[in-house]
Amino acid sequence: MLGLNKNDRTLLVIVAVLALLAPFILNPFPTDSSLAQFNAGYPDLMQKFVIFGIFAIGFNILFGLTGYLSFGHAAFLGIGSYSAVWIYKLFTYNVIPAMMLSVVMAAIFALLIGYISLRRSGIYFSILTLAFAQMSFALAYSVLSNPKFNLTNGETGLQVYANDIQMFHRDGLPDFPHIFGLSMGSTSKLPLGAWEFQFNVGYYFCAILMILAFYFSIRLFRSPFGMMLRAVKSNQQRMNYTGLNSRPYTLAAFVISGMFAGLAGGLLAATDPLAGAERMQWTASGEVVLMTILGGAGTLIGPVLGAGFIKYFENIFSKINDQVLHQWVSFMPDGLEDFVVALIHPFIGKGWHLTLGILFMLVVIFLPGGLVEGGQRIGRLFGRKKRAEDTADAAAKTPAE
């Protein structure tokens, strides 16, 4: 079914269920509970989970399969966003043509950048991609914001104004990105007892695209093309000695990966019609590298887990402040309470990067395969326990001689 084996079908179903039921899964605590701040089932954050999941899935096609580490993928994220916003400004708020242009423009730029960068490998390839990304950032931030041909609007960012052309925008349609008249910002709320669940059109549009992207990733991983990319990662020199030219394969992987990044950038503009040069900064490229490694580079579901993990920390864990900590430890004597808060303070709020850095180091040291390896170890542990219990039961039922 769908051209997938049993394990891959199971993995696809798991990702689909997690994505479609996210409003329930990410809201485990009642709305009035003191732990409600750990809920992540609101549209803005759920959209980031799936959008950056797409970004990481695409990056994993390049890095996870070929071993080529790009530090410039944020350039394609930014190009996708700018392309989508220009569609909104010139033609229509319909997200379909915006997504199509985002992917096409990202593919063109990826082809140009990849053609040059892939002439080198290893650290030299990484430096070249970083250089191109920083050049793109500089162009978007200053050069292309020149009043004569203002394509990016500089540090203010590109956005849609009431006096923009919008040739095909009709009265009665939302003045916001929409999917055939259904606004991406439209949200329905479902109160159930002490809980409130939110169902957002923009989130489900992004979630469906992420499921399709994940399916495409599985098919690519299992295809002969994916096997060739694995051969590049395993021993590119030996592959070249056999007479096979690896460059067309790596260039194709680079372009496909860039298209995923462009789609993610277009979705960011679809959920918030604004494009800024900061999406092209090297920090954004570094973030997708962290997502992929943290989740498990070269695995299918790892990048999705890594994207969710980092975005959760960025948006939830970073909001914990001293006041919240005092509420949690208010049962302690005053002096001890202040000491505990002072001890934890550097790791929360604006210091969440420190906590993330420590967790990342622990994962790299103890779980080189990322979160996926951690899950596999837990699975093997329970599997051994079950086998031991089955063996003990069998021994007990065996009559003594």
Calculate the average pLDDT of the chain.
90
pLDDT at 393: 64
Q: Which of 310, 263, 322 is nearest to 284 (CA)?
A: 310
Q: Are 229 and 65 in contact (CB under 8 A)?
A: yes
Give the Cβ contact number of residue 25 at 10 Å: 13
Task: Tell me which residues of the chain have a pLDDT lower than 70.
Answer: 1, 385-401
pLDDT at 397: 61
* Angstrom distance (rounded) from CA 120 to CA 114: 10
* Angstrom distance (rounded) from CA 233 to CA 216: 20
151 φ/ψ angles, rounded to the nearest 5 degrees: -95, -20
Q: Are 244 and 230 in contact (CB under 8 A)?
A: no
pLDDT at 347: 86
pLDDT at 335: 86
With tokens 């489900």, the residue in question is 204
pLDDT at 150: 83
